[in-house]
Structure 1
Amino acid sequence: MKKSNYSKSVVISVAIHALLIVLLLWGADFTFDNKQPVGNTIQATMVDPAMLNQQAQQIRQQRQAAKEAEQARQDRLEQQTAALETQRKAEAERIRQLKADKLAAEKQTREAEKQQQLQQQQALEAKAKAEAKAKADAKAKADAQAKADAQAKAEAQAKADAQAKADAKAKAEAKAKAEAKAKAEAKAKAEAKAKAEAKAKADAKAKAKAEAKAKAEAQAKQDAALNDMFSGLEAENAQRGGARGKHIADEVARYGAIYKQMIQQNLLVDQSFKGQECKLTLRLSANGLVLNVSQLAGNDTLCRAAKSAVLQVSEFPMPDNPDVVKQLRVINLTVSP
């Protein structure tokens, strides 16, 4: 907008100077006197002095009028020139003022832009400081959290180590007890085997009578073994005490009797099993399916017969009580016909 005003002022100034030049040219005297040709002819004329004086007076008046008109014209030109000069000076002053205003406005704009840039720079610096502070706070918080996590991890590791040490100790004690029990059972088994061999030698003298008697005795022992195969589990449940523990123990005993009857129906007893023993572990699913039957110890032939009897059952009935089901899912079975 300011640039447009400046251009407009320049155009007006040029127009005024052009008008002044036209007026000066217009006021100039470009008339030429028509001179009469000069000849050699001389004509004598009678001249009236009064007329001559009158004509002279008229010429003087005409010259004076012309002089006054010229002076008036010159005065008008000077006035017009002065007015134009005054207008030119005013226009020049106005143009100068416009330039000064433009320079001041540009200076003010530059100052405003500089101030704005300064404010933007200050805002950016403040933002950078805030971001740096936030980053430092976040790092401090992360370091504190990492330190707390490391401490918690160390405490958990120490606790796990202590538990592992306690478990190892308990396992070692259990292993020692199991080894002592195994030694005692091996000793008892050896004694039983020696007695059985001695008895077999004595029975060999009366083979026919002994076979019938041995068969009856074997059947009786098989029934006794099947009746006792869940005795260990029932004893463990009985130690729980209380009404709930007693209920669980009763349910385990009841289902144990059912299982014994189902296994007994499929167990084939041979004369060679006499004096032998087999220990099995049964693993059942939650719905009673036989998942696995593994031999722990004992005579291989007897264990195969016992495993076959269990697998023929295939699926055992399960109670609704989950605590009882839990007790029945892993069963240690001892068979000694």
Structure 2
Amino acid sequence: MADKSNFTLPLVISAGIHIGVLIVLVMGVDFSEKPKPQPQASAPVVQAFVVDQKQITQHVEKLKAEKRETLRKEKVRQDELDRQAKLAVQKREQEQAKIKKLERERKQKEIETKNATAAAKAAQLKQKQEKQKAQEAEVFRKQKEKERKASEEAAKKAADKRKQEEAAAKKAADERKRKEDAERKRKADAERKRIAEEKARQQQEQMMQDALAAEQAELSQTRNKQVMNEVQRYTSMIRATIQRNLVVDESMRGKTCRVFVRLATDGFVTGTKILSGDPVVCRAAKAAINKAGRLPVSTEPDVYNKLKEINLTVQPEFN
């Protein structure tokens, strides 16, 4: 029990310190402000906290193992108490049977004593020659009376012994109940402690998940902006390539054509489709696309996925 207390106190202190740190951190956060980037130097602090939590978890597992060992020992002790109680019951039943037997013998001896007394009284009425017989009967009666008293004394001692054994059995039962109540209380305290530690662990995990989610959102927003910039740049390059290969005349001035283009990963044109616009401009735009054969396309998958099927508006340019 002393070893268990030595482990419990440091664990409680450690858990209390970490819970206090978490509460201070939560109360100190200003949720009205936007999240600020954290410096790289904070990483060692998080790592130290995680390592400490791991040590706490290992310590909890050790306490659980000790708890199981304590329960096993308690069961062995309880089984021994039950065995002793059963032996006491058996012994008490044997003593009761003995008492009943002695009681029957006492009654039998009382009968015999009465018979002897009657014989003594009858002998007094007889002739003097039977006086010796009467005296012998009286001696016999006194002997039986002595045996009866001895039987009563033995019965009384047996009853006292039975009472003592019952008192001992009751004391053992009370002790067992006291230990069972103490064990239930210990289990309840351990469960409350486990729930508190689990809550602290969940709060820590939630804080880490929130931080990772915020960082991921920021990275995703930056990446999307970069991808859109690249898409716009390559779209401009595709339009410029089509313009270089576009044959124009005055009849196209001010007119446009909207065309769908499908591109392979190397920029090769795998399909085109006129969507709307001036027929002359559309024929010239399709011819310019076919003449180019390949159009500029990014090797980055995110950018290519937005360029592999695009709709372009072609408008002839005049110097």
TM-score of the superposition, structure 1-length normalised? 0.45
Look at both structures and tell me which one has the larger radius of gyration over its CA atoms: 1
TM-score of the superposition, structure 2-length normalised? 0.47
